[in-house]
Amino acid sequence: MIGLTLCIVAIFVLYLYGKRNHKYWELKGVKHDQPLPFFGNNARNYFMRKSVTELFSELYWKYSNEKVVGFYRASRTELIIRDPEMVKRILITDFSHFYPRGLNQHKKEIEPLLRNLFFADGDIWKLLRQRMTPAFSSGKLKAMFPLIVERAEKLQARALTAAAAGTAIDARDLMARYTTDFIGACGFGLDSDSLQDENSAFRRLGATIFKIGPKEIFIITLKQLFPSMFKKLKSLSRVEKQILQLVDAVQRQRNYKPSGRNDFIDLLLESKMKGTIVGESIERIKPDGKPDVATLELDDELIAAQVFIFFAAGFETSSSATSITLHELAYNPEVQAKIHEEIDRVLEKYDNKLSYDAIKEMSYLEWTFKEGMRIFPSLGFLIRECARKYTFEDINLTIDEGVRVIVPLQAMHNDPKYFDKPTEFRPERFQENTSSNNKFSYLPFGDGPRACIGARLGLMQSLAGLAAVLSRFSVRPAPNTIRRPPVNPASGIVQSIQGGLPLLFIERKQHN
């Protein structure tokens, strides 16, 4: 009898633990779906039925008259923002209240590879951003362009082989290989040649980083359901050793000094040689109200973390955005014809060769790429964490420190309130929307101090890849192409398609 009583008590205590915090939004008067014990509103994501972006989108449309919607990721409170003006305040106006992303639940025990510009918060993020921003200046981007052209030509060659055979090629895989080679060259001074080498180690590394299997899902779920018990489990152990070895090998090859290549590794080595990074603290305030001084030493482990995010962010986002754009063009031949005309006309001015200045003139191609990112943004949502208690005065809602706020990009980008006939693929809308009407409802690269630091680099590399393909080929749906391909339910912040994006690449007559 005593054993049964203890068992019942234990179950009841466990149930209460699984329901902790689940009254938060009800007490605040914020509409939300009823959470399940332990899982909150995220059960279908944990069981690989829906991506978290899809869950946010469902609630965005379900509560269409609300400015905010409550969400529970396990027991953690999150707030979905449905109003662009509130988005502006979070990302820019009141950034000091929302500078963390909050992706590390245990701020004092962060995995080594997660101490990077994307995942890090507070002073680590601020000092890294301060030191690394010069790497993405216009001058440095222009200097990189010859490396992009070399990879773009190899991209054409691989597509040409498939076109000659009349076989479909997976646009997702094709553009991922191009992106991988670009990152290898511009990031590390390496010629990975994954466009030609089917077993490229660099390509395998890229695939490994984003390969989320049952083991990885299980670890992520345990860390969210029982954060205190499983905080030491590493979610990136499968690639940590590879990244550390890669960075060490490249540094040794350069004698731990900048090589003059002006790539990402050179920037980090230059930063290390400059010594301690010093700046104003974003976390600590002196008694006189002024920011305290913050310092950071750029050691080998921190360098490896930046290399990891440079590789991971560039690999998945650019390849996803370019392949989705090609997929949409395959179903919109009239748009494709306009792009062909523009590319032919511009290249004729530049001796039929890709160049930095030629890409800058291809405005319709840029609108088309932006439209692709509107239809299916690489980042399904933006995330920020409330650093200290904050009040949304227009809706009389106060949230506490630690609450995460979500900007649901996938939903907002496809809301007819902001984009007329959103299901239509119409690049001209970016010519028409030259004002700031949709400034904070279209944010593929984020905005504010934590906007993507490599946005211009990613845009330039993506447009060059698209121009290289479309200058030589037309794309059409293959017999097995799915018009609306399903989203991979294992997707996190970065969205991915389940399966490939097979397309037919048809060689065009060369323009003279």
Annotated binding site for heme: 452
Burial of 66 (0-12, 13-18, 19+ CB in 10 A): middle
For the chain, state the CA radius of gyration. Answer: 24
**Structure tokens of 462?**
């993506």
Q: Give kind and range of the element (H or E) at residue 366.
A: helix 363-375
Spatial contact of 98 and 449, defined as CB atoms under 8 Å apart: no
**What CA–CA distances, in Å, run from 52 to 41, 71, 105, 153, 296?**
10, 11, 18, 37, 34
Binding residues: 452
Phi, psi for 57 (deg, rounded to 5): -65, -40
Q: What is the largest CA-CA distance in the chain?
A: 91
Of 361, 357, 377, whose CA–CA distance to 369 is shortest?
A: 377
Find out whether 439 and 412 touch, Cβ atoms under 8 Å: no
Please enumerate in sequence order all residues whose Cβ is within 8 A of that of 339, keeping only pairs 6 or more positions apart, or say none.
329, 364, 365, 368, 470
**CA–CA distance, 26 with 44 (Å, rounded to integer):** 22
For residues 75 and 37, what is the distance between their CA atoms, to the nearest angstrom?
8
Torsion of CA 371, 372, 374, 378, to 10 degrees: -150
